[in-house]
């Protein structure tokens, strides 16, 4: 055994012992186990760390943005320390309050908390006994950037609000009112109408580019929403390509992760509270369906690559740009297998056509199978470290429960 392999084995042993401590005695025992190994860090109990961070939060906070109450209702969680939520919703470009830092640190924490909750759920999935590789694949389906952006874009609150407007006479069709002396005093009515508050619109920022990115992503979301939701509810195949077509920037997924980090701190480090919020957002329902229905979560590019390796095939991707269009041609052993063309909307358009072409090629060769049957990830040797996506190529996802407006009612 080489020295590098020995180091991998020893690292695996340390991680597995920590995992065993967690399974046996929860987070408290796993903390003591980690503290025993030291790892060159200064360790303190989770509750102490959280209390230390919360002690730095200014209370009370004046000038609370009204939108915070809407966000709390969307999340199903009311903050004791409102400043944590303000920080979680503050973009780095925001210039109105130099006392509040951006969400970047909170997003980093929320990413880890989300990983923890999802991993725990996969490990304890009844009757599955997933291998490490298969847990990683399924986890990546619900923690990657494209899926979290989709969750961010759809999360909303429907409210009934009174909107003043001139009253119209139903018989004449004219505005009602008048004082009999040639002048008309228009009568005003205040009917209640449905208003939708979207989570992503509650981001605090001072950037025209952010506004442009939000508008463009939401336009694509409205066009793709029904297709994606139907796939996530009924399809046996995870819609990687459709989710990639949202072309949502990282700030959308960052918002979801940052509020999770804020909730974790505000709740005193409660994973159970975070878990309830993840159900409120519909994220864990997606994971439950992936587990229950054995949804195929392997990325199409990875599936095509694994199939080619297994059967000694050579797969090539050729891109082209012409007259405002981008194209991807997939060839197998020199023969054209799939062609997809779409409108050029920047570099991410290459990803769109690549993933769509891979799905087309897979359908042509009849390669859609369960994840377990095709290209089973190995537990050792090729161990994948934590990251935003399971396969290097993707980021996407699925979803089940929709907050707010029904599809098509924006």
Could you tell me the pLDDT band of residue 2, with boundaries at 50, 70 and 90? Answer: confident
Residue 410 pLDDT greater than 90, yes or no: no
Beta-bridged to residue 237, according to DSSP, are 296
Residue 247 pLDDT greater than 60, yes or no: yes
pLDDT score of 116:
95
Please compute the mean of the pLDDT values over residues 222-249 and round it to a whole number: 91
pLDDT digits (tens, 9 = 90+) for 91-113: 999 887 666 789 999 999 999 99
Query: Do 163 and 190 meet the contact criterion of CB atoms below 8 Å apart?
Result: yes
Could you tell me the pLDDT band of residue 117, with boundaries at 50, 70 and 90? Answer: very high
pLDDT score of 390:
36
pLDDT score of 239:
87
Please compute the mean of the pLDDT values over residues 198-208 and round it to a whole number: 93
Give residues with Cβ within 8 angstroms of 84, minimum separation 6: 54, 57, 106, 262, 265, 266
More confident: 342 or 144? 144
pLDDT score of 393:
39
More confident: 193 or 223? 223
pLDDT score of 409:
41
In the 3-class helix/strand/coil scheme, how is the chain assigned residue by residue? CCHHHHHHHHHHHHHHHHHHHHHHHHHHHHHHHHHHHCCCCCCCCHHHHHHHHHCCCCCCCCCCCCHHHHHHHHHCCCCCCHHHHHHHCECCCCCCCCCCCCCHHHHHHHHHHHHHHHHHHHHCCCCCCCCHHHHHHHHHHHHCHHHHHHHHHHCEEEEEEECCEECECCCCCCECECCCCCCCCECEECCEEEEEEEHHHHCECCCHHHHHHHHHHHHHHHHHHHHHHHHHHHCCECCHHHHHCCCCCHHHHHHHHHHHHHHHHHCCCCHHHHHHHHHHCCHHHHHHHHHHCCCECCCHHHHHHHHHHHHCCCEEEEEEEECCEEEEEEEECCEEEEEEEEECCCCHHHHHHHHHHHHHHHHHHCCCCCCCCCCCCCCCCCCCCCCCCCCCCCCCCCCCCCCCCCCCCC
Helices 67-75 and 271-280 sit at what angle, rounded to 10 degrees?
A: 100
pLDDT score of 229:
95
Query: Do 82 and 61 meet the contact criterion of CB atoms below 8 Å apart?
Result: yes
More confident: 406 or 17? 17
Both tokens of 231, joined, read: 């796939």
Please compute the mean of the pLDDT values over residues 227-232 and round it to a whole number: 93
Query: Do 22 and 30 meet the contact criterion of CB atoms below 8 Å apart?
Result: yes
Could you tell me the pLDDT band of residue 53, with boundaries at 50, 70 and 90? Answer: confident
Q: Which residue has tokens 């779409």?
A: 342
- How far, in Å, CA of 285 to CA of 258, rounded? 20
Please compute the mean of the pLDDT values over residues 242-270 and round it to a whole number: 94
Residue 300 pLDDT greater than 90, yes or no: no
pLDDT score of 377:
44
Both tokens of 28, joined, read: 């408290």
Give residues with Cβ within 8 angstroms of 22, minimum separation 6: 29, 30, 33
Using CA atoms of 233, 235, 241, 242 in order, give the dihedral in degrees to the nearest 10.
-40
CB atoms within 10 A of CB 118: 22
Query: Do 376 and 47 meet the contact criterion of CB atoms below 8 Å apart?
Result: no
Residue 154 pLDDT greater than 60, yes or no: yes
pLDDT score of 89:
94
- How far, in Å, CA of 80 to CA of 45, rounded? 22
Domain architecture of the chain: domains with CATH: 1-43 (no CATH), 46-297+377-410 (1.10.1520.10), 302-365 (3.30.160.20)
pLDDT score of 185:
61
Residue 21 pLDDT greater than 70, yes or no: yes
Let me know the angle formed at the C-alpha of 266 by 265 and 268, rounded to the nearest 5 degrees: 70
Please compute the mean of the pLDDT values over residues 249-271 and round it to a whole number: 96
Nearest residue to 191 via CA among 169, 165, 173? 165
Task: Choose the weakest-confidence range: 44-48, 290-294, 363-367, 378-382.
Answer: 378-382
Task: Choose the weakest-confidence range: 59-63, 286-290, 344-348.
Answer: 59-63
pLDDT digits (tens, 9 = 90+) for 359-397: 889 888 888 654 444 444 444 344 444 444 433 333 333
Give residues with Cβ within 8 angstroms of 276, minimum separation 6: 76, 77
pLDDT score of 65:
77
What average pLDDT does the structure give for the chain?
82
Of the spans 160-164, 186-190, 217-221, 243-247, which averages the highest pLDDT? Answer: 217-221
- How far, in Å, CA of 332 to CA of 322, rounded? 23
More confident: 65 or 183? 65
pLDDT score of 272:
96
Please compute the mean of the pLDDT values over residues 156-180 and round it to a whole number: 68
Could you tell me the pLDDT band of residue 191, with boundaries at 50, 70 and 90? Answer: low
Residue 38 pLDDT greater than 90, yes or no: no
Let me know the angle formed at the C-alpha of 10 by 393 and 46, rounded to the nearest 5 degrees: 75
pLDDT score of 370:
44
pLDDT over 70 percentage in the chain: 80
- How far, in Å, CA of 280 to CA of 265, rounded? 18
pLDDT score of 289:
96
Both tokens of 95, joined, read: 């210039």
- How far, in Å, CA of 192 to CA of 268, rounded? 40
pLDDT score of 245:
86
Cα separation of the two ends of the chain = 60
């Amino acid at each position: 055994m080489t020295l590098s392999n020995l180091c991998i084995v020893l690292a695996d042993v340390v991680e597995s012992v920590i995992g065993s401590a967690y399974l046996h005695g929860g987070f408290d025992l796993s903390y003591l186990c980690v503290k025993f190994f030291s790892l060159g860090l200064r360790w303190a109990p989770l509750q102490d760390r959280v209390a230390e961070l919360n002690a730095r939060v200014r209370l009370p906070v004046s000038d609370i943005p009204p939108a915070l109450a809407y966000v709390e209702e969307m999340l199903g969680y009311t903050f004791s320390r409102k400043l944590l939520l303000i920080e979680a919703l503050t973009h780095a470009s925001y210039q109105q309050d130099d006392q509040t830092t951006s969400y970047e640190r909170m997003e980093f924490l929320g990413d880890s908390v989300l990983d923890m909750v999802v991993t725990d759920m996969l490990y304890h999935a009844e009757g599955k006994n997933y291998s490490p590789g298969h847990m990683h694949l399924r986890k990546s389906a619900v923690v990657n950037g494209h899926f979290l952006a989709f969750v961010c874009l759809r999360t909303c609150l429907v409210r009934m609000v009174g909107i003043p407007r001139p009253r119209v006479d139903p018989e004449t069709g004219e505005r009602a009112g008048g004082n009999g002396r040639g002048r008309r005093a228009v009568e005003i009515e205040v009917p209640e109408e449905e208003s939708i508050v979207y989570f992503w619109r509650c981001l605090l920022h001072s950037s025209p580019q952010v506004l442009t990115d939000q508008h463009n992503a939401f336009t694509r979301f409205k066009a793709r929403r029904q297709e994606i939701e139907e796939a996530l509810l009924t399809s046996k195949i995870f819609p990687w390509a459709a989710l990639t077509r949202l072309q949502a920037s990282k700030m959308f997924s960052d918002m979801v992760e940052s509020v999770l980090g804020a909730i974790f701190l505000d709740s005193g480090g409660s994973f159970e509270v975070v878990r309830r919020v993840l159900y409120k957002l519909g994220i864990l329902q997606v994971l439950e369906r992936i587990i229950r229905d054995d949804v195929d979560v392997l990325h199409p590019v990875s599936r095509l690559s694994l199939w080619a390796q297994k059967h000694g095939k050579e797969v090539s991707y050729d891109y082209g740009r012409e007259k405002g269009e981008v194209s991807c041609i997939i060839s197998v052993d020199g023969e054209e297998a799939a062609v997809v063309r779409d409108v050029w909307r920047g570099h991410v358009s290459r990803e769109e056509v690549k993933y769509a072409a891979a799905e087309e090629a897979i359908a042509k060769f009849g390669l859609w199978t369960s994840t377990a049957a095709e290209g089973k990830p190995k537990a050792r040797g090729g161990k994948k470290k934590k990251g935003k996506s399971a396969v290097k190529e993707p980021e996407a996802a699925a979803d089940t429960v929709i907050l707010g407006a029904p599809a098509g009612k924006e």
